[in-house]
Amino acid sequence: MIIGVDVGTSMTKADAYDDEGRKLASAERASTLHQYDDGRVEQDLEDVLASAADVIRRVAADAGRPLRALALTGQGDGLWLRDRDGYATRPPISWLDDRAADVVRAWQDDGTVHEVYRRTGTGLFPGCHAPLLRSLARDEPESLERAAVAGYCVDALIQRLTGEITVDASDASLPFLDVATRRYDEDAIAACGVSASRHLLPDPAPPGTVFALDARGAEITGLPVGTPVTAGPFDLPACAAGAGLSQPGDGLLIIGTTLACEVFTDRVDMTADAAEPAGMWLCTPDPATWLRAMPAMVGTAGLDWMLEFLGVGIDALGGLLEGTRPGAGGVSALPFLSVSGERAPFVDTRARGQIEGVTLSTRRGDVVRAVCEGIAYTARHCFERAAFAAPGDGRLVACGGGSRSGPWAQIFADVLDTPLVVPDDPGLGTRGAAITALQALGDDVDPASWAAPSRVVEPTAEGGQCYADGYLRYRAHVDTARDFWARQAQGFRRPEERPLAGMHAS
């Protein structure tokens, strides 16, 4: 059997699979995320390691079969600084972190963002390596001085379990890798002013690399010394593999903490969207294919916040949505609730959420539906920028916690005007990691044959007509809001741009 482990932002999951893709056992454990009022978001490497060890031990005991390999995937971006023994030199910085927002804004103004995108196809945002390294060099240089490696979540676990300092090409894609050659672009590193930290970046492991559990890793996991271990790809491409997608034009919608919209492609075009850099090109385990990804900061976290604000739990979502109709009774929402702003389909560190159209007759369900519709509109915007194929030219699979809600999945199908294939098993990250491990071990595995049973959510005529107009209004709303955020940041310097007394943004 293969044990796949997905170390997410809020949850660590493990699943055991047999060689045909049948799930044998599962376990999960919540992760601790430290969020501070000043926008810092951090984790504890020891807590993350303990969560992985816990679910691995439980799944191995429950499955009770000989283990062929341990397959790891997990969250990407952020900055996980470690010493040569794999211990954190400072708390890992989450991809949700906002401390480097001022760096990104300065780079947008001076052209650095465009230069890096031209070279690597990555749109810089506050929670990725480049601005975080620059921010720490300015504010906390001792952390960099103590570090031997600047990595990510998955390779942090690999170092502690195997003793190897490495990185998967999918993680390294963000933001310094030339994804076509799988080598770092030294000019991109220099453009960001972080050449002094270049020695902290390990070269990406070749495709198909297999590591081995050492004595320390065996003690942590309870597995035998020498157990084969694979590292990556990180969760976005791992979910694509777990969904059984591999053909150019196939798409994946992840409705999770991140709203990730991905499209498989067999070519890399660094000039795509060069006018406004956003999103990223990602290496996959197959050197001949890539993912054009638009991972938005909006997602289930925004919906969770709204439900908590209204004093209801996630179990109330279905009833709230079923009591409303497309258009949310005239209420609309911009769902940009992350403290670090937005990274796709545009990068704006000042992006903030808005709700408008509320009257005394507005019900709680209308507000919840407006947020769900706003997130779905963001997905459509992301897929447009990622050049997702028209219906009939590519499959679109939806996964993540949000896909479990039938009414919300219907909203996505209607807004995207595309049938959604929704797997019965939402654990696509662990499944994709397991598939990658088998391929690395030399097995001839077809990801499509490993795909879990699924249902298809067809778009409806009523929803499609309503949302076609609603999407145009949403895009206009976004454009107006972005102009307002920019002018607000400038202090409304021109007298004619100053708001009248008593006026405020909706």
* Cα gap 23→189, rounded to integer Å: 42
Model confidence at 330: pLDDT above 70: yes
pTM above the 0.95 mark? no
pLDDT of residue 506: 36
pLDDT of residue 131: 97
Model confidence at 234: pLDDT above 70: yes
Handedness of CA 265, 270, 272, 277 (dihedral sign): positive
pLDDT of residue 386: 87
Q: Tell me the pLDDT tens digit for each residue of 79-138.
A: 999 999 999 999 999 999 999 999 999 999 999 999 999 999 988 999 999 999 999 999
Q: Tell me the pLDDT tens digit for each residue of 360-396.
A: 999 999 999 999 999 999 999 999 988 875 455 568 9
Question: pLDDT-derived band of residue 426, with 50, 70 and 90 as boundaries?
Answer: confident
pLDDT of residue 502: 34
Q: Are 103 and 134 in contact (CB under 8 A)?
A: yes
Question: pLDDT-derived band of residue 504, with 50, 70 and 90 as boundaries?
Answer: very low
Alpha helices in 253-316 (DSSP H): 300-309
Cα 127 to the chain's mean position, in Å? 11
pLDDT of residue 387: 81
Question: pLDDT-derived band of residue 501, with 50, 70 and 90 as boundaries?
Answer: very low
The whole-number average pLDDT for the span 312-335 is: 93
Model confidence at 450: pLDDT above 80: yes
pLDDT of residue 389: 58
Residue 54, burial from CB neighbour count under 10 angstroms (0-12, 13-18, 19+): middle
* Cα gap 385→502, rounded to integer Å: 38
Residues 6+ apart with CB under 8 A from 463: 326, 410, 411, 413, 414, 415
Q: What is the 3-state secondary structure (H, E, C) of 101-112?
A: HHHHHHHHHHCH
β-bridge partners, 422: 455
pLDDT of residue 87: 98
pLDDT of residue 273: 64
Model confidence at 458: pLDDT above 90: yes
Q: Are 71 and 3 in contact (CB under 8 A)?
A: yes
Q: Are 451 and 245 in contact (CB under 8 A)?
A: no
pLDDT of residue 452: 81
pLDDT of residue 323: 85
Model confidence at 461: pLDDT above 50: yes
| Higher pLDDT pick, 448 / 461 | 461
pLDDT of residue 499: 40
- Provide the 10 A C-beta neighbour count for residue 335: 29
Q: Are 293 and 331 in contact (CB under 8 A)?
A: no
* Cα gap 64→57, rounded to integer Å: 11
pLDDT of residue 4: 98
Amino acid at 183: R
Q: Tell me the pLDDT tens digit for each residue of 186-225.
A: 999 999 999 999 999 999 999 999 999 999 999 999 999 9
Average model confidence (pLDDT) across the chain: 91
